[in-house]
């Protein structure tokens, strides 16, 4: 069986506030073009020191709950040794330790095999950088 590796980079704008951005449709669209009925793995990666990827439910408050929890765990205050940027920016550099900058997901028959309520999301608490890249890679 031969394997193929295909990748693309999404340029996204997250805005000036903290956000959980749903990327599921982007992933589905990418797989529609490259997976064509094949099984494999989709890797979602953000090449940033201040962002992560989460697989969570969205639209029911869970995305806001995630941001609220991150605010409790990583308050935007002056406790951080990493001090450039907006006040509390050091916490943004700790975020990828809690919300990894990648996720690898199963693809079955060319479709993302998520659970009923799962979405693939970019988590970005860094208000200083509203432009992000997300790399989607399919191996199958």
Q: Measured between alpha carbons, how far is 117 from 91 in angstroms, rounded to an integer?
A: 29
- pLDDT, one tens digit per residue, over 50-83 is 999 999 999 899 999 999 999 999 998 989 998 8
84 pLDDT band, cuts 50/70/90, is confident
**In the chain, % of residues over pLDDT 70:** 99
Contact 127, 94 (CB under 8 A): no
Answer whether 51's CB lies under 8 Å from 96's CB: yes
Q: pLDDT for 8-38, tens place per residue?
A: 999 999 988 899 999 999 999 999 999 999 9
Q: Residue 18: how many CA atoms within 13 Å on its side-chain side?
A: 21
User: Is residue 2 scored above 80 in pLDDT?
Assistant: no
Helix (H, G, I), strand (E, B) or coil at 134: strand
51-to-29, 78, 97, 106, 123 alpha-carbon distances in Å: 22, 20, 10, 22, 6
Q: Could you count the other beta carbons within 10 Å of the beta carbon of residue 138? A: 22
Q: Which of 38, 32, 65, 13 is nearest to 136 (CA)?
A: 32
Domains of the chain: 5-139 (2.60.120.460)
Give the global pTM.
0.94
Read off the tokens for 68. Answer: 């609220």
CA 47 to mean position of chain CA atoms: 10
**Band (1; pLDDT cuts 50, 70, 90):** very low
């Amino acid at each position: 069986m031969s394997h193929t590796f295909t990748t693309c980079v999404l340029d996204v704008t997250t805005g000036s506030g903290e956000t959980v951005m749903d990327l599921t449709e982007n992933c589905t669209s990418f797989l529609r073009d490259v997976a064509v009925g094949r099984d494999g793995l989709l890797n979602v990666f953000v090449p940033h020191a201040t962002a992560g990827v989460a697989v969570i439910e969205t639209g029911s408050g869970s995305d806001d709950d995630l941001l609220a929890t991150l605010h409790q765990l990583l308050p935007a205050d002056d406790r951080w040794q990493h001090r450039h940027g907006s006040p509390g920016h050091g916490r943004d550099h700790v975020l990828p330790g809690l919300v990894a900058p990648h996720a690898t997901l199963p693809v079955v028959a060319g479709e993302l095999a998520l659970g009923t309520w799962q979405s693939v999301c970019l988590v970005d608490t860094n208000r200083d950088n509203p432009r992000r890249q997300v790399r989607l890679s399919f191996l199958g």
